[in-house]
Amino acid sequence: MNDKLLPLENFIEKTKEEGKIPDKLYFRISEVGKLTALEPYVLRYWESEFKLIKPIRTKSRHRLYRRKDLEILFEIKKLLYEEQYTIAGAKKRLEEIAREEKRDLEINSDENDYKKILHATLKELKDLQKLLANK
């Protein structure tokens, strides 16, 4: 088993480069099955097990999967079939990936907050300098 998985964003970019996911907003379960090489009953089962997969339901109760759902399905398939995770192990690994991404977002937002504070402080100091120069 590979200890270090690509973050989900890198996986998404990789699948786009390989052309696995067509450029569409929504996909029917049959299309998803063809793209992922999974049977519809497997997709429905994974939907019940992995709460990250949330297809939209039409008025006629058909499932419409979004691009994000497909990306998650590809990651789940990789974890289960290639890396031999159990369902429980795959759930934990997806949670870890989500936490890593959330932490990365928080770090980036913290950096931006510090930059904003520094710019505001610099502006205040320049204003004070102008006030003192006028006296």
* Secondary structure element (H or E) that encloses residue 127, with its range: helix 87-134
pTM (2 d.p.): 0.64
Q: What is the domain partition of the chain in residue ranges?
A: 8-134
Rounded Cα distance between 25 and 82, Å, is 27
Residues 6+ apart with CB under 8 A from 96: none
What confidence tens digit (pLDDT) does each residue in 13-67 have?
Answer: 555 445 568 888 899 999 999 999 999 999 999 999 999 999 999 999 999 999 9
pLDDT, residue 1, reads: 44
pLDDT recorded at residue 128 = 84
DSSP H or E segment with residue 66: strand 63-66
Provide φ and ψ at 128, rounded to 5°.
Answer: -65, -40
Cα(116)–Cα(112) distance, integer angstroms: 6
Q: From CA 77, how far away is CA 72, in angstroms rounded?
A: 9
**pLDDT value at position 116?**
78
pLDDT tens-digit readout, 52-72: 999 999 999 999 999 999 999
- Taken in order 38, 39, 40, 46, the sign of the CA dihedral is negative
Tell me if residue 25 falls in helix, strand or coil: coil
The pLDDT of residue 15 is: 53
Residue 20 structure tokens: 């696995």
Q: Which CATH number fits domain 8-134: 3.40.50.300, 1.10.1660.10, 2.60.40.10, 3.40.640.10?
A: 1.10.1660.10
Across the chain, mean pLDDT equals: 83
Is the confidence at residue 10, as pLDDT, over 80? no
Longest dimension (CA), the chain: 79
